[in-house]
């Protein structure tokens, strides 16, 4: 009989979002009359921008004709998309990348998980708590942890608590770590890192020969000037950081799937015998062996995001979601609920009212307001007592959800 990967059995619960969907579906089956508003998983609701659709359709038309047909593309992405990203996404930030440092993928969730393939099993990993569960769970699956304790912390993983008490700013780990996950703007807390804070992390990583895995999936939601959009805005980051970006939240590609990883040429890791090896070489090898690239029409659609027309349209949608975030935050604050985030991010991170547990609040909100959010505890033990609302709903639903919450908790 085939032997399983026993590490999977250490995982304490099902993946967070399917678990929420399961509970919501059970509630909906029992209460078919309830008009449920879903502000849980950060899934977009606005249609793709017209310029993106046009390019997507043109890509499909190309596949319909022999002269313009495309079969396998380069595993790392088409040169024209990689070059567009260099010029339109990074150069305006003052960041110079080579096109071949950009690897096009089917999204940041997959990239932040798959990147572990190129790192040895003995690396010590540091993650924030609360955190996007993929970083934690994929390391458990890969065998980089022991079992979880009763609080939900896995042995061997270094957790960096982020709560209101430390302004959601992780402290540097006390012990030596090799891989550090940072996500800014942050999922789930919606907070951002200043240039000084990121410079501190870059220095820390260089001093400790650690690699930062920087998830910038929400960078397009930054509204405040001076907040870095990329880790490479920080001097020295090319020698210590891999960055992930996504078209999902930026341009509504959650169902289309496209993202990218940046692996600079200078970035190296060590072999067991201490020799330096460029991580770029390993990631390129990994992708060409395990991945056949993102489909041609999707890459055409992604390139159109950076056309003048596409970018203006995409910015309008982002402004719409940020408008939702402001409505949620203001409405909840009027109800006496303490909120964080929602200014440079599409997530509002709130203190559960009356000191309720996160899952208790989830159940109450669903039962009494028919509103779905995400319990903070689902993102890690330090998320207990917090709750996340997503701003990706329609305006109508967001307004209705806020009105229901205010009616129930006051201020309405």
CB of 393 to ligand MLT, least distance (A): 12
The answer to whether the CB of 139 falls within 8 A of the CB of 117 is no
What is each CA distance from 133 to 93, 128, 136, 225, 268, in whole angstroms? 29, 10, 5, 29, 26
Determine the distance from the C-alpha atom of residue 136 to the mean position of all C-alpha atoms in its chain, rounded to a whole number: 13
Buried b (16+ CB within 10 A) or exposed e, 154-185: beebbbbbbbeeeebebeebeeebbbbbbbbb
CB of 245 to ligand MLT, least distance (A): 12
Pairing state between β 259-262 and 102-105: antiparallel
CB of 359 to ligand MLT, least distance (A): 17
Enclosing H/E stretch for 399: helix 395-409
**CA–CA separation, 146 and 124 (whole Å):** 12
| Tokens describing residue 158 | 């270094």
Buried b (16+ CB within 10 A) or exposed e, 22-60: ebbeebeeeeeeeebbbbbbbebbbebbebbebbbeebe
CB of 16 to ligand MLT, least distance (A): 8
Indicate the residue whose CB is closest to ligand MLT. Answer: 42
| Tokens describing residue 393 | 């709903």
CB of 137 to ligand MLT, least distance (A): 12
Nearer to ligand MLT, 156 or 381 (CB): 381
CB of 381 to ligand MLT, least distance (A): 17
Nearer to ligand MLT, 18 or 50 (CB): 18
Nearer to ligand MLT, 246 or 287 (CB): 246
CB of 323 to ligand MLT, least distance (A): 19
Q: Return the SS3 of 64.
A: coil
**CA–CA separation, 130 and 376 (whole Å):** 7
Neighbours of 359 (CB within 10 A): 16
What one-character DSSP code corresponds to residue 100?
Answer: G
CB of 6 to ligand MLT, least distance (A): 26
Nearer to ligand MLT, 111 or 384 (CB): 111
Nearer to ligand MLT, 372 or 402 (CB): 372
Exposed, middle or buried, 113 (CB in 10 Å: 0-12/13-18/19+)? middle
Whether the ω angle into residue 138 lies within 30 degrees of 0, i.e. cis, is: no
Q: Which residues bind ligand MLT (CB under 6 A)?
A: 41-43, 109, 132, 187
Nearer to ligand MLT, 41 or 142 (CB): 41
CB of 109 to ligand MLT, least distance (A): 4
């Amino acid at each position: 009989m085939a032997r399983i990967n026993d590490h999977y059995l250490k995982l304490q619960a099902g993946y967070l979002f399917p678990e929420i969907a399961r509970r919501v579906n059970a509630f909906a089956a029992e209460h078919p009359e309830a008009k449920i508003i879903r502000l849980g998983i950060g899934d977009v609701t606005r249609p793709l921008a017209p310029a993106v659709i046009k390019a997507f359709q043109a890509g499909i038309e190309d596949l319909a004709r022999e002269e313009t047909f495309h079969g396998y593309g380069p595993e790392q992405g088409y040169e024209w998309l990689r070059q567009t990203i260099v010029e339109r996404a990074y150069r305006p930030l003052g960041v110079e990348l080579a096109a071949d440092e950009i690897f096009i993928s089917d999204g940041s969730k997959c990239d932040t998980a798959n990147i572990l393939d190129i790192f040895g099993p003995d690396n010590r990993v540091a993650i924030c708590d609360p955190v996007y569960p993929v970083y934690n769970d994929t390391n458990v699956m890969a065998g980089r942890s022991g079992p979880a304790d009763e609080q939900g912390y896995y042995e061997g993983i270094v957790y960096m608590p982020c709560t209101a008490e430390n302004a959601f700013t992780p402290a540097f780990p006390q012990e030596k770590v090799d891989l550090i996950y940072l996500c800014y703007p942050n999922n789930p807390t919606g907070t951002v890192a200043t240039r000084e804070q990121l410079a501190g992390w870059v220095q820390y990583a260089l001093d400790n020969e650690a690699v930062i895995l920087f998830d910038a999936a929400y960078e397009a939601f930054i509204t405040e000037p001076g907040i870095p959009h990329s880790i490479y805005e920080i001097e020295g980051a090319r020698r210590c950081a891999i960055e992930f970006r996504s078209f999902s939240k930026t341009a509504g590609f959650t169902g289309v799937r496209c993202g990218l990883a940046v692996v600079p040429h200078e970035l190296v890791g060590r072999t067991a015998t201490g020799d330096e090896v460029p991580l770029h070489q390993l990631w390129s090898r990994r992708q060409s062996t395990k991945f056949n690239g993102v489909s041609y029409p999707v890459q055409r659609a992604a390139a159109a995001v950076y056309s003048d027309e596409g970018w203006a349209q995409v910015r309008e949608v982002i402004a719409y979601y940020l408008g939702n975030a402001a409505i949620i935050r203001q409405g909840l604050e009027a109800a006496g609920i303490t909120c964080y985030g929602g200014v440079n991010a599409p997530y509002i991170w709130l203190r559960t009212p009356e000191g309720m547990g996160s899952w208790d609040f989830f159940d109450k909100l669903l039962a009494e307001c028919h509103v779905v959010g995400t319990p903070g505890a689902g993102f890690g033990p330090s998320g207990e007592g917090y709750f996340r609302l997503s701003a990706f709903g329609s305006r109508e639903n967001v307004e209705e959800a806020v009105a229901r919450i205010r009616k129930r908790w006051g201020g309405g």
